[in-house]
Amino acid sequence: MSPLRDVLNKLLSGCFICQYAYPELHRQLRNAEFAEGVENALAPLGRKLATLGEPEAPDTFFARFIDFSEPVDRDAATAQLVELRDQIRPCLDFIRLINRAGRSETCLAPGDTISFADMLDSIENHPTYRTQLWDLSGYDFFSKSKSGKDNNDRLKLVLRALADAGYIVKRSSESANYVATGKMGYVHTILAWIAEYNSLSLDVGKSESHDGEHQGGLNL
């Protein structure tokens, strides 16, 4: 498959192309001529190439709608928004668990490593972290983790759900550790926008009460 076709397939399927998830395609897109070819190919499909990071050296590439003049584009955008809405709250609760059990001071930005061993060790030795891990199964997004017979299995299933959704990627096929991708950066961008326009606090280091059903996500 040609690099152009590979990039287009991934962009149109909703993937976020960054140096951690798709290093070779990311390198190709950093080439202005190649990126222009992608832009020209997306235009007839009602999409344009969007980026995160510095304009001169983007961290992440993704496809966004040019406008919503076509009903099919409005329907697709609505489906994407609903999916994101139902994933933001589970992601936030996982990031809170990372901040505590993962012994990290960051908000899980693209490129940050999730150490499976460190997280599991903390979870096994702190009842609060164990409860937080098991509480994640209350979300549809992490519902498969209910089938885990112990903390090890549950943590693996939670991480697999995040990887399947594109938020993290295995550091290598042999490693149990993961790296946050550009899609996690996109979530932080959306949350910052929500906070700015709704005067909300997004301090992921503080726990919040769960008033309402987990599955409902945020009221976007």
pLDDT for the residue numbered 102: 67
pLDDT for the residue numbered 197: 66
Tokens of 213: 């059903």
Point out which residues pair with 53 in neighbouring strands. 58
pLDDT for the residue numbered 67: 87
Whether residues 57 and 85 share a domain: the answer is no
For residue 197, what is the domain's CATH number? Answer: 1.10.10
pLDDT for the residue numbered 205: 46
- Quote the CA–CA distance of 46 and 72 in Å, as a whole number: 10
* Blockwise average pLDDT, block size 10, the chain, 220 residues: 93 96 97 96 95 92 90 87 88 90 75 93 94 94 93 95 96 92 91 68 45 38
pLDDT for the residue numbered 180: 96
- Specify if 217 maps to a domain: no
pLDDT for the residue numbered 211: 41
Output the CA angle 52-58-62, nearest 5 degrees: 55
How far is CA 124 from its chain centroid?
26
Domains held by the chain: number: 2
pLDDT for the residue numbered 69: 83
List CB contacts of 92: < 8 A, sequence separation 6 or more. 191, 204
Whether residues 90 and 134 share a domain: the answer is yes
- Quote the CA–CA distance of 110 and 122 in Å, as a whole number: 23
Write out the residue range of the structural domain in which residue 42 sits: 3-65
DSSP string, 5-23: HHHHHHHHTT--EETTT-H
